[in-house]
């Protein structure tokens, strides 16, 4: 299965002209228009529980908590175990004073994320509802608010169980609340429409991309809410990373009063500077402008990147015509004591850590993440698998299938322009062996994804056998496999991977999840016979697990993706294992992001171009045996080991960048373990202490 694809959203388009003509291109200055996005994150009142009449203007909320959003009511009880965290209704209320200068403007309330359902009221009147916890949504409130006066916004949010909304169940905590930002959009009456599935209303489709040229189609949703017919021009200005205009796409438009439509224009971009993953994540910007006889009435900026890719049955992934190994991590959006109500700094740190480890790709499990996440992945050249939260099972409840399709539509249209996104994920671990056949819904999802976006591939994360029909809908497929943790042994991994490839000879297969739990406080000399469901998850076993898996998967180029489960420990309130109930501890980094486990450095040594020299088992400080192994993860050319100042020897790396000394003797008391590595003529050191007795 092959596909050529390219990108869309973020920061810049490059030269349609040859490089030597760039000096003649003028710098772009965006027109000044009155499009405003006002943060409504502050000054909310919150009550956990349902309250009759809480939407009314005169309702007395003085006893409610004063909070800001992002906010969740499950930051603490959703991580403490017991599977008894609060799942129900929470109410939010806020006053909004609108200045008289907003008279004659169009006003929209936009929510970037509220889990799982949200009913929105303005001055006691319900203006709309949204079902789905991970995508943005907006409502036109122009006729519902009073300009020059105070208004009351009330929001009823529910994360109750048994809602006919995906996901029905999953191995993570469903944090309730308005956990992403809230905005008031103030627009002119002739504007780019923000109501198309919560999208920006601008869609940049790139096709026939090569180093020589690319075709760009810009589609802009325009809305005329004036009382008369309007004639206008839609211009999409492509700007390179230096701020120079390299192409302007233009189309004329006309709309009757109070109507809207999509307007498209196409151009050929000569010699595009390609978005080339971590090698060169070059971004253009595209500015969609709506201009009438009165001037420019709206401008929307979106990122844009040009690239193409292939996924093949036997040789894996290709980016811009070159083999490109897709290795990386899955990750969730929560934090210790914060839940999903995280800050931009949290998101930036997470993506920075993923960049540090050397990941070339991520799987955004198990739902669309924040727009900031996608923007950072665009910037850093990390390819993204973005998926909808169709997890574990489907429901026969009326409206469930429509909701899954709605969430897919929202995910695709909201993230259409991000060059980092290369596949749309349709489900995680749904089997056709259940009582309710999921195949008709999966087929519908697959058809809708291709209808909305013909440039990207569809995929899914399956835990079924290769014979299961659920594996035969998407363009490519990947599997969640946990040999040596939940079942089987590590010795099973090579043959199991080859069996996947043999079982689907005409479909590219990848590895969407593999991992093992680890506590940084639990250690053992002989990490064998570890039971996943137990309270003992020694860090040393996670090391052996990942060494065995990477040795097998790194040599199998038919695997189009390789994703570790998980980058960070995360909350799963139903779990009772490892050193902390309510936590999935398979992360390469602890839940608080303070400690990088040994396995983090193992992958960094294999994936990163930065120098790595790291003594494994370093937290196993109290020893009882005078003889031990010393293991180093490093991408150095050679490593020399000293114990208590005595040189033990110098080793070259194994194929997976492991240096291992066996039978090393420790003295009674404190022992200093020191290693020195050389790489490219430079010397690096690491040390730790272990105490015997």
Please write down the HEC assignment for all residues of 457-509.
EEEEEECCCCCCHHHHCCCCEEEECCECCCECCHHHHHHHHHHHHHHCCCCCE
Backbone angles phi, psi at 651, to 5 degrees: -125, 155
**What are the residues whose beta carbons fall under 8 Å from the beta carbon of 145, sequence distance 6 or more?**
96, 98, 107, 122, 123, 151
If residue 443 lies in a helix (H) or strand (E), which one and from where to where?
helix 439-452
Residue 615 token pair? 């003594």
The CA-atom distances, in angstroms, between 247 and each of 237, 268, 399 are 6, 9, 44
CA nearest neighbour of 530 among 578, 584, 470, 587: 578
**What are the residues whose beta carbons fall under 8 Å from the beta carbon of 554, sequence distance 6 or more?**
562, 606, 655, 656
Annotated catalytic, 429?
A: yes
User: Could you write out the DSSP letters of every residue in 126-157?
Assistant: EEEEEE-SSS-EEEE-TTTS-TTSEEEEEEEE
Q: In sequence order, what E strands does 257-323 have?
A: 259-270, 275-276, 280-281, 284-292, 295-304, 309-312, 316-319, 322-323
- Cis peptide leading into 167, omega within 30 of 0? yes
Give helix 344-357 / helix 598-607 axis angle, nearest 10°: 60
DSSP 304: E
Give helix 539-553 / helix 598-607 axis angle, nearest 10°: 20
Catalytic residue among 14, 106, 387, 429: 429
Q: Are 76 and 148 in contact (CB under 8 A)?
A: no
CA–CA dist 568, 7 (Å, integer)? 28
CB half-sphere exposure, 12, CA atoms < 13 A: 21
How far apart, in Å, do the first and last CA atoms of the chain sit? 59
If residue 553 lies in a helix (H) or strand (E), which one and from where to where?
helix 539-553
CA–CA dist 569, 575 (Å, integer)? 12
CA–CA dist 427, 438 (Å, integer)? 10
Residue 54 token pair? 């809480």
User: What is the dihedral sign for C-alpha 38, 344, 168, 365?
Assistant: positive
DSSP 161: T
If residue 606 lies in a helix (H) or strand (E), which one and from where to where?
helix 598-607
The CA-atom distances, in angstroms, between 609 and each of 38, 178, 593, 606, 682 are 42, 40, 22, 9, 14
Q: Name the residues annotated as catalytic.
A: 429
């Amino acid at each position: 299965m092959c596909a050529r694809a390219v990108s869309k959203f973020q920061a810049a388009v490059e030269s349609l002209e040859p490089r030597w003509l760039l000096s003649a291109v003028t710098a772009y200055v965006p027109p000044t228009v009155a499009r405003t996005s006002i943060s409504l994150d502050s000054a909310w009142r919150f009550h956990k529980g349902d309250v009759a009449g809480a939407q009314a203007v005169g309702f007395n909320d003085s006893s409610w908590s004063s909070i800001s959003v992002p906010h969740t009511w499950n930051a603490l009880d959703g991580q403490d175990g017991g599977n008894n965290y609060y799942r129900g209704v929470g109410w939010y209320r806020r006053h909004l004073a609108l200045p008289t200068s907003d008279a004659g403007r169009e006003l929209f309330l936009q929510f970037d994320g509220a889990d799982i359902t949200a009913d929105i009221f303005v001055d006691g009147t319900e203006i709309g509802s949204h079902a789905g916890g991970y995508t943005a949504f907006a409502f036109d409130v122009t006729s519902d608010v009073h300009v020059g006066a105070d208004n009351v916004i009330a929001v009823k949010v529910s994360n109750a169980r048994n809602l006919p909304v995906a996901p029905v169940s999953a191995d993570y905590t469903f944090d309730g609340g308005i956990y992403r930002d809230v905005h008031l959009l103030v627009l002119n009456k002739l504007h780019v429409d923000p109501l198309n599935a919560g999208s920006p209303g601008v869609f940049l489709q790139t096709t026939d991309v090569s180093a020589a040229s690319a075709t760009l189609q810009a589609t802009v949703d325009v809305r005329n809410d004036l009382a008369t017919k309007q004639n206008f021009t839609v211009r999409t200005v492509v700007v390179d990373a230096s701020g120079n205009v390299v192409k302007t796409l233009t189309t004329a438009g006309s709309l009757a009063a109070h109507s809207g439509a999509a307007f498209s224009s196409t151009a050929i971009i000569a010699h595009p500077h390609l978005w080339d993953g971590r090698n060169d994540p070059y971004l253009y910007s595209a500015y969609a402008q709506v201009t009438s006889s009165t001037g420019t009435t709206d401008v929307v900026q979106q990122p844009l990147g040009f690239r193409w890719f292939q996924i093949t049955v036997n040789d894996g992934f290709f980016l811009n015509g070159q083999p490109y190994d897709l290795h990386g991590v899955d990750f969730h959006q929560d934090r210790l004591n914060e839940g999903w109500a995280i800050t931009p700094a949290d998101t930036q740190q997470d993506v920075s850590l993923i960049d540090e480890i050397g990941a070339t790709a991520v799987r955004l499990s198990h739902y669309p993440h924040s727009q900031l996440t996608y923007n950072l992945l665009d910037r850093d050249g990390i390819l993204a698998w973005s998926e909808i939260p169709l997890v574990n099972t489907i429901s026969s409840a009326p409206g469930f299938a429509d909701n899954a399709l709605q969430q897919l539509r929202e995910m695709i249209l909201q993230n259409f322009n991000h060059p980092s996104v290369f596949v749309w994920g349709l489900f995680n671990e749904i089997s056709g062996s259940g009582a309710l056949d999921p195949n008709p819904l999966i087929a519908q999802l697959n058809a809708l994804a291709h209808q909305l976006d013909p440039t990207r591939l569809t995929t899914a994360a399956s835990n079924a056998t290769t014979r299961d029909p659920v594996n035969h809908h998407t363009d490519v497929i990947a599997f969640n496999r946990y040999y040596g943790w939940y079942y089987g042994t590590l010795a099973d991994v090579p043959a199991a991977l080859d069996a996947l490839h043999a079982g689907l000879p005409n479909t590219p297969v990848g590895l969407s999840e593999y991992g093992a739990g680890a506590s940084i406080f639990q250690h053992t000399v002989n990490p064998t016979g570890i039971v996943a469901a137990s309270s003992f998850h020694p860090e040393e076993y996670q090391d052996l697990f990942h060494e065995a898996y990477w040795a097998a998967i790194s040599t199998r180029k038919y695997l189009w993706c390789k994703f570790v489960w998980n980058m960070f420990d995360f909350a799963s309130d139903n779990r009772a294992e490892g050193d902390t109930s309510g936590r999935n501890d398979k992360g390469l980094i602890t839940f608080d992001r303070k400690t990088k486990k040994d396995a983090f450095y193992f992958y960094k040594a294999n994936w990163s171009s930065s120098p790595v020299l790291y003594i494994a088992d370093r937290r196993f400080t109290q020893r009882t045996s005078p003889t031990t192994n010393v293991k180093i993860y490093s991408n150095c050319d050679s490593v020399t080991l000293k114990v208590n100042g005595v040189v033990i020897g110098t080793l070259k790396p194994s194929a997976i960048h492991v240096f291992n000394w066996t039978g090393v003797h420790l003295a009674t008391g404190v022992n200093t373990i020191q290693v020195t590595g050389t790489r490219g003529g430079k010397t690096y050191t690491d040390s730790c202490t272990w105490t015997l007795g």
